[in-house]
Structures are given as C-alpha cells and as structure tokens.
C-alpha cells in the first residue's frame, strides 16, 4: 500500500473502528470518506483486535480496517515503538529520518488482507496486550513524583489547565520528561542541551508528554470530570503531528488530545466519530 500525498491523512483510534463496525450499512459512508483522504490505522488497534476473543468480532473489525485502508492507507508504528525508534535514531545519526520512522507495519497490513488473526494468536496476544497496557500505566505512574511537584499537600496549586501548563513550562517539567525518557531508552545520561534539541526535533515525544501531564491533571483534580482517558489513549498523542485528522469515539480521549493540539500549536483536527466526523460524511450519503 502506498500513501497518496495529495490527500489528507486520517488516523483511526480503536474506539472509532469499533463504532464504524457497529454500523449496519457503511459502504457508502466509507466511500465518501475516501474522497480527499488517506486512512491510516493506529498501530495499537491491531494489538486489541488480535487479542479479541470472539472470532466473529475479530473478523468484523479486520473487514472494517481492510475497507478503510483501500489502496493507499497503512498501519502506523505503535506510538511507544515510534518514540523508542526516534530516540535511538537521533542518538545514532543526530537527526530524524521520518520516512524510516513512519514505514507502515506491513505484517499487520498482510494480516488484514489474509485475516490471519486466529484463535490461537488471540490467546497469545491477550496476555501480551495486558503487559503492554501495564507498561504504559507503569511509565505514567513513574512520572507522578515529577508531576506532583506541581501540587501542594494534596491540593492543586492551580485551578486551571492553562495555569498548570504555564507552571510546568517554567519549572522545566517537559525537558525533565524528555531527559528521563531518553536516558531510560539509551541506558546512559544525557545533558539538558541534548534533551532540548531532541524535544524540538521530535514533536511526538513533546505531544506525549503534554498528554500525560494533562491526563495527570484530570486524574488528580476532582473538579474536572472530562479527560479521564487511559494511558494508552494518551499515547495516541504521538500521532497528532503526523496527520491532518485523528478520529476517536472516546470523548475523554478527544478532550485530552484537543488540549495537546492547543498547547503544542498543532493544526490537527481531533474528531469525535459519532458526532462531527461521521455526520460530515453522512450528509453526503
């Protein structure tokens, strides 16, 4: 599958794929969505499809993915692997080769076409997915001491997200996150200047750090009910700079990612599938 660079890139989250699969008739909707768009699927979607116990549901989700990708779409690298690859590449050659970093996951594309996610693979994949989710949650938890510097005696020192982000910037929280992440991947210490350069050169890590900070704010602020997205949903922030549209059916994820777009000054449209996104195309059907 090859990317048509003349079209806008749309990245799909698991929740949106699930919602699309629930539609009784979707052929015309998918046809309308194909005009002017190239559809890419988040890498973690296939971890979740492959671990689905029901063969009927697995086949239905794979069918939706196949219909969406058409002849020009692809499967993006998992966000955590994207960050590890970016850190390693920048360390080795001092720059980032985006063509290499964004090489589609061909093995997943073949799986879509051939439907090879069988019961045996699903039984193997489920514990692996559980470990991946635990790893992401563990990283999220490991950053709590750093984030908690922004809180005082169990009370928030700030009442709004705007104040929190401003304080985090002034305290160097983002640089500390980049440094922590790079050192944990490379197994060696790096200096502040290196962390600054890499953070500027690699927007996916900056977006992910913003997402974790915003997610931490909502998890620790009883006055804010929206934005309580899971850690894997927050990781999707790594994709935002790589696409024109990110589609989700998870309202909490949408709210957090829209905040990431705002504070990172991206231009990505984070759309709610059941609302603005599908309605835009349904009106044409």
pLDDT along the chain (285 residues), means of 10: 65 91 75 78 80 80 82 77 88 84 60 53 56 63 64 56 83 85 89 90 92 81 60 89 93 92 94 79 51
Q: How far apart are the first and last CA of the chain?
A: 27
Amino acid 153: pLDDT: 40
189 touches 214 (CB < 8 A): no
Amino acid 38: pLDDT: 84
DSSP, collapsed to helix, strand or coil, labels residue 38 as: strand
Partnered with residue 234 across adjacent β-strands are none
| Statement: the pTM of the whole predicted model exceeds 0.75 | yes
Partnered with residue 227 across adjacent β-strands are none
DSSP, collapsed to helix, strand or coil, labels residue 74 as: strand
Structure tokens at 111: 């799986």
Rounded-to-integer distance, Cα 240 and Cα 73, Å: 17
Amino acid 236: pLDDT: 93
Q: What angle do the packed helices 55-69 and 119-142 form, to 10 degrees?
A: 80
259 touches 228 (CB < 8 A): no
Give the residue from 129, 158, 186, 146 showing the smallest Cα distance to 14.
129
The dihedral sign for the CA sequence 20, 24, 30, 33: negative
Partnered with residue 11 across adjacent β-strands are 40, 246
What contacts 201, CB < 8 A, 6 or more positions away? Answer: 90, 95, 96
Residue with tokens 């050169």: 201
Q: What is the CA radius of gyration of the chain?
A: 19
DSSP, collapsed to helix, strand or coil, labels residue 277 as: helix
Alpha-carbon torsion, ordered 264, 267, 271, 276, to 10 deg: 140
Structure tokens at 187: 């197994």
Can you list the positions of beta strands (E) in the chain? Answer: 8-12, 37-41, 74-75, 151-152, 155-156, 245-248, 269-272
């Amino acid at each position: 599958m090859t990317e048509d660079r003349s079209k806008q890139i749309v990245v799909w989250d698991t929740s949106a794929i699930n919602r699309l699969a629930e539609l009784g008739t979707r052929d015309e909707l998918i046809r309308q969505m194909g005009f002017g768009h190239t559809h890419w699927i988040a890498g973690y979607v296939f971890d979740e499809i492959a671990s689905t116990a029901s063969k009927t549901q697995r086949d239905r989700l794979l069918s939706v993915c196949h219909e969406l990708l058409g002849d020009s779409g692809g499967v993006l690298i998992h966000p955590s692997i994207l960050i590890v690859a970016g850190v390693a590449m920048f360390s080795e050659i001092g720059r980032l080769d985006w063509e290499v970093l964004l090489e589609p996951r061909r093995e997943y594309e073949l799986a879509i076409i051939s439907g090879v996610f069988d019961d045996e693979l699903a039984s193997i994949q489920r514990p692996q997915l559980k470990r991946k989710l635990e790893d992401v949650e563990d990283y999220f938890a490991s950053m709590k001491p750093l984030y908690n510097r922004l809180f005082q005696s169990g009370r928030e020192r700030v009442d709004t997200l705007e104040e929190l982000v401003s304080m985090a910037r002034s305290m160097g929280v983002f640089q500390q996150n980049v440094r922590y992440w790079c050192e944990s991947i490379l197994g060696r210490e790096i200096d502040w200047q290196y962390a600054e350069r890499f953070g500027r050169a690699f927007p996916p890590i900056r977006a992910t750090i913003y997402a974790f900070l915003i997610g931490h704010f909502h998890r620790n602020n009883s006055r804010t009910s929206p934005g309580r997205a899971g850690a894997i949903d927050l990781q999707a922030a790594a994709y935002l700079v790589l696409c024109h549209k990110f589609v989700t059916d998870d309202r909490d994820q949408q709210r957090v990612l829209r905040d990431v777009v705002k504070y990172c000054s991206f231009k990505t449209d984070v759309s709610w599938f059941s609302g603005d996104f599908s309605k835009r195309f349904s009106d044409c059907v």
